């Protein structure tokens, strides 16, 4: 939502927990391969149905070996033990999923909310763009880097703006994640862009110091060029930029080709993430 707090959402489920989904005020512009930073969505009219989860970000499902997801994927889920009015706002925890920066989501496929909700915590889980869609790196001026981290940051802004409506305390927010999620947590700790958006952090099985958490920009640009060439990019005169070419490729085809490139890189970590240059400002 834009410039106002959330007011009307239908999302109550059985048990003591309240599940609210698809209530994001951050989204990618039209096509994620435009490589722009996330933006706030327009406000909606009436009551929003939040009983079902939103789409995962486009990825290769490593369990079923198929491409799934959608470009319109920047959703978050909120699980609260009790909606307002409450005597005391509850601690908030924001989960950032792992998956090598190329797969995963904030949905309950792997991680459920019950344990934390039963302990009285308001839990938020998020999606963020993955692979080349979230961590494309280029010197082109119209391309922003590390949009996956920007997505995470925008989700934290949403929490600050809206979590009180779910019984949460915006002044007591802990971010936590494992593997690539742990690396993301550490990057968010280090970045000035997240100042004031959270107060505690728990990076698990991953940090910004891990060799897989940062890839040299030259290496990443070579991989991205390899991706483009595999899809037919042949411009050697600089008339068409690689980003412009990739914008013409259907997203499912792009992710499928990305998987082929990553599988060919057998001696290195396979992630597309790069935090080269202005590391703590995401570029």
Integer Cα distance of 98 and 90 in angstroms: 25
Residue 22 has what pLDDT? 44
pTM score: 0.86
Would you state the pLDDT for residue 86?
A: 82
**SS3 assignment for 99-163:** CCCCCCCCCCCCCCCHHHHHCCCEEEEECCCCHHHHHCCCCCCCCCCCHHHHHHHHHHHHHHHHH
Decide: 77 and 124 in contact? Cβ < 8 Å.
yes
Token pair of 221 as six digits: 């640009």
Taking the mean position of all CA atoms in its chain, how far away is CA 255? 16
25-69 tens-digit pLDDT? 444 333 444 556 787 777 778 887 787 888 999 999 888 889 999
Whether a cis peptide bond, with omega within 30° of 0, leads into 14 is: no
**Angstrom distances, CA of residue 266 to CA of 67, 251, 262, 271, 272:** 21, 24, 8, 12, 14
Q: Which of these ranges, 51-60, 179-188, 205-214, 265-274, has the smallest mean pLDDT?
A: 265-274
pLDDT tens digits along 86-143: 889 999 999 999 999 999 999 988 888 999 999 999 999 999 999 888 888 776 656 7
Superfamily of domain 9-211: Alpha/Beta hydrolase fold, catalytic domain (3.40.50.1820)
Kindly list the domain boundaries of the chain, sorted by start residue: 9-211
Span 206-234, average pLDDT? 84
């Amino acid at each position: 939502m834009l410039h106002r707090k959330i007011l009307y959402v239908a999302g109550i489920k059985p048990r003591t927990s309240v599940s609210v989904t698809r209530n994001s005020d951050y989204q990618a512009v039209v096509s994620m391969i435009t490589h722009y930073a996330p933006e706030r969505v327009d406000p909606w009219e009436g009551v929003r149905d939040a009983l079902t989860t939103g789409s995962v970000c486009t990825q290769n499902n490593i369990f079923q070996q198929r491409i799934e997801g959608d470009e319109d994927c920047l959703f978050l889920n909120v699980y609260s033990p009790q909606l307002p009015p409450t005597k005391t706002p509850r601690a908030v925890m924001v989960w950032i999923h792992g998956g090598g920066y190329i797969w995963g989501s904030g949905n309950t496929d792997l991680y459920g909310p019950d344990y934390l909700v039963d302990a009285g915590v308001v839990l938020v889980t998020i999606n963020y763009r993955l692979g080349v869609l979230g961590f494309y790196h280029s010197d082109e001026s119209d391309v922003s880097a590390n949009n996956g981290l920007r997505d995470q940051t925008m989700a934290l802004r949403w929490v600050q703006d809206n979590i009180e409506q779910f019984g949460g305390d915006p002044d007591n927010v802990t971010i936590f994640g494992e593997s690539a999620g742990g690396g993301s947590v550490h990057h968010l700790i280090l970045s000035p862009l997240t100042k004031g958006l959270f107060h505690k952090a728990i990076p698990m099985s991953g940090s910004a110091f891990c060799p897989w958490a940062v890839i040299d920009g030259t290496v990443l640009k070579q991989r991205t060029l390899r991706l483009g060439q595999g899809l037919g990019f042949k411009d050697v005169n600089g008339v068409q930029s690689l980003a412009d070419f990739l914008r013409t490729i259907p997203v499912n085809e792009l992710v499928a080709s990305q998987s082929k490139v990553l599988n060919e890189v057998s001696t290195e970590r396979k992630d597309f993430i790069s935090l080269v240059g202005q590391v703590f400002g995401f570029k």
